[in-house]
Amino acid sequence: MIMDFQVVVLAGGVSKKLLPLVSKEIPNALLPVANRPVISYVLELLELSNLKDLIVVVEGEDAALHVGGWISAAYADRLHVEVAAVPEDVGTAGAIRAIAHHLTAKDILVVSGDLVSDVPLGAVAATHRRHDAVVTAMLCSAPVSGPSESGSSGGKDKTKKPGRYNLIGLDPTQQFLLHIATGAEVEKDLRVQKSILRAAGQIEIRADLMDAHLYAFKRSVLQEVLDQKGTFHSLKHDVLPYLVRSQLKSEALLNGISQVEENGTEKIIAQSSQQMLSQILANASEQTFHQRYVLGPNGTSFRKTHKCCVYIAGSNKYCARLNSIQAYSDINRDVIGEANHLSGYSFSAHNNIIHPSAELGAKTTVGPHCMLGEGSQMGDKCSVKRSVIGRHCRIGANVKVVNSVVMNHVTIGDCCSIQGSVICSNVQLQERAVLKDCQVGAGFVVAAGSECKGEILAKK
Amino acid sequence: MGAPKKSGGGRVSVSEDSDELVRVPLQAILLADSFNTKFRPITLECPKVLLPLVNIPMINYTLTWLESAGVEDVFVFCCAHSKQVIDYLDKSGWLSQPNFSVTTIESHNSVSAGDALRLIYERNVIHGDFVLISGDTVSNMSLTQALAEHKERKKKDSNAVMTMVIKRSKTNPVIHQSRLGTEELFMAIDPDTKQLLYYEERTDLSKGILHLDKSLLADNPSLTLHHDKQDCYIDICSPEVLSLFTDNFDYQHLRRHFVKGLLVDDIMGYKIFVHEIHSNYAARIENFRSYDTVSRDIIHRWTYPMVPDVMNYGNTATKLERQGMYRASEISQSQSAVIGPFTVIGFGTKIGNNTIISDSVIGKGCKIGSNVCIKGCYIWDHVTIEDGCKLNHAIVCNEVTLKSGAILEPGVILSFKVVVGQEFVVPPYSYVSLLQQPVEEDSDEELEYADSTSVITSRVDKSDEEDASEVPDTHISSVSELGMGGVGYIWQKYEDNEDSRDDFFEREVEATFLRAVNENIQEDHLILEVNSLKLSCNKLTADCAGALFYAMMKYAVDTPHISLDGLMQNVKAVLTKWKKALRSYLTDIDEQIEIILKFEEICLESAKEYAPLFTKILLYMYNEDIIEEDAILSWEDEKRDADEADKVFVNKAQDLIQWLKVAEEEDE
């Protein structure tokens, strides 16, 4: 069944939000998380669900070349991947429009390339099919952002609230998506359609869930919406809210050519009984409100509805999107920390990964939840805590690295201290540089003895 | 601290002691006045709480429940027909129960529940938590859990002043009413704490969006919106509730003012919680529909033990027979009479030959003749129904006489002592009373008792009231509305006014505007008057704009005109003259959109003459700077996802919109 799904991975381009970490050479999709490109997490998740036919959509020709090059090298014999380049800033809806001619399957699974998760995609697809939904969105718990400082500030964590990403309205059975507010709407007053509340009887509004940007769409509906609504720019902000909003009055959507296509030669009248049948097959004891609404007071079908479903990831599942610098630090920390099964590496007894070819100086300690890449060298009396260090780095003596990500080929002089920072590839840190909460772009040279806090350092 | 005190047993006894010290008997306030006119014309003569519900006056259900729920001290607040209520309570023995003290509090000038509670506060009789209930509530729920929850919350948070009892009930999607005939109710509840966050009744059906303030979600990760709950009107209140009513002397209605006031006010931080009951019964009889529903529920024993054979009220025993038939003693019934299931027959009633009765409640001492057909009716005491009458879903009060062959169509209410003439057909949904219909001078908020005297006096000068019943033989001059030998007036239905807007505010604004036109009042004064209406009705500026605009358009269309051009001239004249007044409410774009929406509504409903002129008038208003182009464009935007039916006018105005858009681009 799952093979009927066509998968589109929206890998983005070079996101401004992630500057200076990304560049034309390292677009979003290739940003390393625990020393491997972030897109590999999605690809492996898809492979795990036996979804091997993929279209990866990249914004910008250059970026597409790099992403395509890496994927074909890494997954040549495992996945069948087509990489499509679309112009920059077309938005997620525009990206789908641009590749629409490639889409042929009944349902489309749209995944964001920056998703790091272990949610079974098969379960999402099954939910979608079970309800014959036009869209199924995966929701996960909104991540608690920021570094989880251990020990002293433990009390602080209690007051910390998870960020608000979406306001999501669910029916009491938590199967249907009845309301969604995204983006700036989240901070505004809540505006819920009464007609939907009337039909459902009860809506639970949740602020602690996040739309993970993993959707299953009915292809015909998605294409029709994209065709008809030329101004729609984003799947998340335009298409999904539109489908949710119009779920009880979808005549505009489904009675066109696609309806005939969907139902073949069947008459519309037969549809309600068909729905009943599918309901029985779905093994549900009660009709869902959509059907009750359709059937109306005297059993006649007078309205068309469509279903927007949700798949809510269990609280034990990991789900995060790499769409900000903060998220980049968080995900790196988690993938070698609490969600280390995602990294694909096996951890040592000290709960860390030190590549056999890495060299450590005397009295140097690498704590748990750390990673040290291939061929990296560290001097004496260094200390690494909760950090990722890439390949072939040269690190001097007396260096402290805490809660940070150091990419490949980085040179760090003696007595440097790095805390809560991201150091991109080929950066040179001269002696006694002190960085706290900084991002250093690729190839940048930090002068000896400089002290920086909360700065972005990058080549002009 | 000694060791024994620390032990569990010791502590329990200590806390019990401290409880004992402050322990006050559980009190209740029973409002024996509904403060509305839903049960007119019956309530002009008899207080609502004494109306028989399955042959037992309603207040008995409420009092019996309070007694069984552990309430020890009840204050019955009587206002309308207070004398009757007090006499009844005295006569029926409620005032002299051993462990259940019932005290009456009488008032003659209270017009609302708010007034009642203020008066009770002044009496200083409530000392602890109390149950607030009205005398028309039927319930069999146990208060223990709700009370414990209330006290527990109160201990933690002294601002938790009230617990409302709610029950699941699905609203019919077509008529927007629940089974009890109540209007739809939207609530927002915190699923964890059960705190009530939002309460909206009397919904404006035209507004399709439920608007919740963002602050509600600021502290809660989730909340639940409900449309499937019904308010049982059983409240557990802390004594603060009474003082809150006193502090806010403008609170009248328990829900519309008090609950809303508390929810909106975030300075004092008072909180209301809900307690949902599942298997128990609780319902309030608010209107004739719920009277019917609750009666059926009682007969079907959902309210057990509040059922006729258990309550056995008075000295006559009622027995339950098979098929849900309840029969009192000394009934004389003809062999040929057929009495269907789920019927209650009162003491001493006589039923003639070949009479068919089903799904009905018949009171005591009724005389029902032969060949009568009674279906789904509530017939109270000492009613005489002569041969060959047909009654279908009607309420017939005490001592009514139906002459032979009279027919009651569904939904008829016959008040006390009405006589329906021979072979007369009472039209569906008529209200018939011996009292003339009171002149409808104020709105729905008036009192039952208010005009019971004035009406009787005004009855004398009644001569030729509207002849609603088209009876051929109207030669009996005084009371001929009910056919030969009939006595009573058929009330005109005010629900069926051609003017369906029940909004008091809009009507007032319209009247104010017309006064301004006719008496040539200055614009500034008009603005002043509308502003004061806005404040007194608690409306938004957008409402003022809408209402004023409506008044103007109505005036323009009412001014004589021959053709569409003439109408257009009228509109121009009115708009030009009163532009300033209208504009003072249009400072914001939202208000301008409101006007356009209002205009659409006018074109669709009240004055369809405007429909062909829609774009023209819109353009005129744009040229006169009454509305800005942004308003028109956002209006179009708002309608983008609407049903095609709602877009008629957007499509009509498409030329104008396109023109505006092009003009905008050129400006850039």
* Chain B residues with beta carbon closer than 8 angstroms to that of A232: none
Give Rg (Cα) of chain B.
29
B109-131 pLDDT, tens per residue?
888 888 899 999 999 898 889 99
> Closest partner residue to B210 among A187, A194, A201, by Cβ?
A194
pTM, full prediction: 0.72
**Is A192–B225 a contact, with Cβ atoms under 8 angstroms apart?**
yes
Q: How far is B193 from chain A (nearest CA, A)?
A: 14
Its ipTM equals 0.78
Q: Which of residues A127 and B538 earns the better pLDDT score? A: A127
Q: How far is A190 from chain B (nearest CA, A)?
A: 5
A266-292 pLDDT, tens per residue?
334 344 444 544 444 444 434 556 655
Confidence band of B474 (pLDDT split at 50, 70, 90):
very low
Classify residue B397 by burial, with Cβ atoms within 10 Å: 0-12, 13-18, 19+. Answer: buried
Look up residue A360 and give its two tokens: 């450590």
* Chain B residues with beta carbon closer than 8 angstroms to that of A204: 191, 222-225
What DSSP state is assigned to residue B18?
Answer: H
Assess A95–B contact: CB distance below 8 Å, yes or no: no
Q: How far is B219 from chain A (nearest CA, A)?
A: 10
- Average pLDDT for residues A390-398, to the nearest whole number? 92
**Residue B28 and residue B66: Cα distance in Å, rounded?**
8
CA B420 to each of CA B170, B195, B382, B443: distance values in angstroms, whole numbers, following the listed order: 38, 52, 15, 30
Answer yes or no: is pLDDT of A44 > 80. Answer: yes
- Average pLDDT for residues B215-223, to the nearest whole number? 80
> Closest partner residue to B212 among A189, A206, A245, by Cβ?
A189
Assess A286–B contact: CB distance below 8 Å, yes or no: no
| CB B112 within 8 Å of CB B248 | no
> Closest partner residue to B224 among A195, A202, A208, by Cβ?
A202
SS (H, E, C) chain A: CHHHEEEEEEEECCCHHHCCCCCCCCCHHHCEECCEECHHHHHHHHHHCCCCEEEEEEECHHHHHHHHHHHHHHHCCCCEEEEEEECCCCHHHHHHHHCHHHCCCCEEEEEECCEEECCCHHHHHHHHHHHCCCEEEEEEECCCCCCCCCHHHHHHHHHCCCCCCEEEEECCCCCEEEEEEEHHHHHCCEEEEHHHHHHHCEEEEECCEEEEEEEEEEHHHHHHHHHHCCCCCCHHHHHHHHHHHCCCCCHHHHCCHHHHHHHCCCCCCHHHHHHHHHHHHCCCCCCCHHHHHHHCCCCCCCCCCCCEEEEECCCCCCEEECCCHHHHHHHHHHHHCCCHHHCCCCCCCCCCEECCCCECCCCCEECCCCEECCCCEECCCCEEECCEECCCCEECCCCEEECCEECCCCEECCCCEEECCEECCCCEECCCCEEECCEECCCCEECCCCEEECCEECCC
Assess A448–B contact: CB distance below 8 Å, yes or no: no
What local confidence, expressed as pLDDT, does residue A161 receive?
54
Chain B nearest-CA residue for A294: B173
Cβ-Cβ contacts under 8 Å for B124 (sequence gap 6 or more): none
What local confidence, expressed as pLDDT, does residue B438 receive?
79
**Is A206–B171 a contact, with Cβ atoms under 8 angstroms apart?**
no
- Average pLDDT for residues B3-13, to the nearest whole number? 40
- Residues recorded for chain A: 460
Poorest-pLDDT segment among A43-57, A229-243, A297-311, B285-299: A297-311
Classify residue A38 by burial, with Cβ atoms within 10 Å: 0-12, 13-18, 19+. Answer: buried
DSSP B572-598: HHHHHHHHHHHHTT-SSHHHHHHHHHH
What local confidence, expressed as pLDDT, does residue A405 receive?
93
What local confidence, expressed as pLDDT, does residue A381 receive?
92
Answer yes or no: is pLDDT of B344 > 50. Answer: yes
Determine which of B179, B201, B202, B217 to mutate to test the interface with A (most A C-beta atoms within 10 Å). Answer: B217
Answer yes or no: is pLDDT of A460 > 90. Answer: no
**Is A297–B174 a contact, with Cβ atoms under 8 angstroms apart?**
yes
What local confidence, expressed as pLDDT, does residue B543 receive?
82
What local confidence, expressed as pLDDT, does residue B417 receive?
92
**Residue B200 and residue B508: Cα distance in Å, rounded?**
23
Q: How far is A230 from chain B (nearest CA, A)?
A: 13
**Residue B328 and residue A138: Cα distance in Å, rounded?**
63
What local confidence, expressed as pLDDT, does residue B352 receive?
92
**Is A242–B641 a contact, with Cβ atoms under 8 angstroms apart?**
yes
Average pLDDT of chain B, as a whole number? 81
Assess A229–B contact: CB distance below 8 Å, yes or no: no
- Provide, rounded to the nearest whole percent, the portion of chain A with pLDDT above 90: 26
| CB A308 within 8 Å of CB A289 | no
**Residue B325 and residue B358: Cα distance in Å, rounded?**
10
Answer yes or no: is pLDDT of B349 > 50. Answer: yes
Assess A204–B contact: CB distance below 8 Å, yes or no: yes
* Exposure string over A165-189, b if 16+ CB within 10 A, otherwise e: bbbbbbbeeebbbbbbbbeeebeee
**Is B214–A189 a contact, with Cβ atoms under 8 angstroms apart?**
yes
Using DSSP's 3-state secondary structure scheme, residue B60 falls into helix
Instruction: Report cis status (omega within 30 of 0) of the bond before B305.
Output: yes
Assess A297–B contact: CB distance below 8 Å, yes or no: yes
**Is B209–A206 a contact, with Cβ atoms under 8 angstroms apart?**
no
Assess A189–B contact: CB distance below 8 Å, yes or no: yes
**Is B217–A245 a contact, with Cβ atoms under 8 angstroms apart?**
no
**Residue B272 and residue B241: Cα distance in Å, rounded?**
11
Residue B175 sits at φ, ψ, to 5 deg, of -95, 0
**Is B227–A246 a contact, with Cβ atoms under 8 angstroms apart?**
no
What local confidence, expressed as pLDDT, does residue A314 receive?
86
Chain B nearest-CA residue for A238: B641
**Is A249–B213 a contact, with Cβ atoms under 8 angstroms apart?**
no
B580-623 pLDDT, tens per residue?
888 888 888 888 888 888 888 888 777 777 888 888 888 888 88
In chain A, what's the furthest Cα-to-Cα distance? 83
Q: Provide the terminal-to-terminal Cα distance of chain A, rounded to the nearest Å.
A: 51
In chain B, what's the furthest Cα-to-Cα distance? 99
Cβ-Cβ contacts under 8 Å for B593 (sequence gap 6 or more): B631, B634, B635, B638
Chain A nearest-CA residue for B210: A192
> Closest partner residue to A197 among B170, B172, B186, by Cβ?
B186
* Chain A residues with beta carbon closer than 8 angstroms to that of B213: 189-190
Using DSSP's 3-state secondary structure scheme, residue B130 falls into strand
Give Rg (Cα) of chain A.
25
Assess A102–B contact: CB distance below 8 Å, yes or no: no
* Chain A residues with beta carbon closer than 8 angstroms to that of B198: none
What local confidence, expressed as pLDDT, does residue B464 receive?
40
A148-198 pLDDT, tens per residue?
443 333 333 434 455 678 889 998 888 899 999 887 777 778 888 888 888
Q: How far is B207 from chain A (nearest CA, A)?
A: 8
B491-534 pLDDT, tens per residue?
876 544 434 444 678 888 888 888 888 888 788 888 888 888 88
**Is B222–A206 a contact, with Cβ atoms under 8 angstroms apart?**
yes
Classify residue B183 by burial, with Cβ atoms within 10 Å: 0-12, 13-18, 19+. Answer: middle
- Average pLDDT for residues B129-134, to the nearest whole number? 92
**Is A293–B173 a contact, with Cβ atoms under 8 angstroms apart?**
yes
What local confidence, expressed as pLDDT, does residue B276 receive?
92
Cβ contacts from A onto B, under 8 A = 85
Place of tokens 């006649």: A300
Determine which of A174, A180, A189 to mutate to test the interface with B (most B C-beta atoms within 10 Å). Answer: A189
Residue A286: count other Cβ atoms within 10 Å of its Cβ. Answer: 9
